[in-house]
Amino acid sequence: MAHRFDLIVFDWDGTVMDSTGLIADCIQIAAREMALPVPSLDTAKSIIGLGINDSVKRLFPQLSSAEQTQYALTYRKHFVARDHEAPLYEGIRELLADLALPERFLAVATGKPRAGLERAFGHTGIKPHFHYSRCADEGFPKPHPDMLMKLMEFTSVAPERTLMIGDTTHDLELAHNAGVSAVGVTYGAHRREHLEPHRPEAVVDSVAELTAWLKNHA
């Protein structure tokens, strides 16, 4: 089958790396440390994928700007100390290898800052699979279309030849805002009932299902 997409873009946390539980845990720990109301697990996971500033504003809108900055620093302290604990999802390495074609670009669009993504690349060793990456501190964070627009600009790939894969509504909104196709995965932060209303091309429950869908449709 002739391939349909010349640019396939992956979210990172909850799509490539099994890190949503760790992120949520660090969100809760930081709240306790600052004597703030501790978000529930679902609430903590709901903001995964956003840039850190937007995440803190959604979690703690009552805080002053200075207090929100302090919370962000507290969260980062805990997460950076533990981010090496998060593994790749089983099958991701093989999927990336299978997708490799001379005429196809693979990329990452993530709510992580650049330093965080580079640490994750270092821990996992999979940076060579990706031609480009775009992080939340390099432009407008999700769901603004900036990340995908920049990746399409870098690769000279049209929106109709671009696919976004992610585990959150923020990823699917990013894809919609950039005019590209999307696939949602339920094994990360957001559940199927949250993803389906955004009308992605598919919603899959595992890396194995994602691999099968891409083999047949990408």
Domain ranges of the chain: 7-18+87-217, 20-84
The pLDDT tens digits for 137-180 are: 999 999 999 999 999 999 999 999 999 999 999 999 999 999 99
Residue with tokens 């999979």: 126
Cβ neighbours around 138 below 10 Å, total = 14
29 alpha carbon, distance to own chain's centre: 22
Of 1-5, 23-27, 52-56, 79-83, minimum mean pLDDT range: 1-5
**158 within 8 A of 141, measured Cβ to Cβ:** no
**Measured distance CA(183)–CA(39) in Å, rounded:** 28
**Measured distance CA(82)–CA(26) in Å, rounded:** 9
Mean pLDDT of 78-90: 96
Confidence of residue 3 (pLDDT cuts 50, 70, 90): confident
Query: Check: CATH 1.20.140 for 20-84?
Result: no
Q: Model-level pTM?
A: 0.95
For the beta sheet containing 181-185, the strands, ordered from the edge strand earlier in sequence to the opposite edge, are 132-135, 105-110, 7-10, 162-166, 181-185, 202-204
Whether 1 has a pLDDT exceeding 90, the answer reads: no
Instruction: Give the chain's mean pLDDT.
Output: 96
**CATH number attached to the domain at 7-18+87-217:** 3.40.50.1000
Identical fold for domains 7-18+87-217 and 20-84, yes or no, is: no
User: Would you state the pLDDT for residue 41?
Assistant: 95
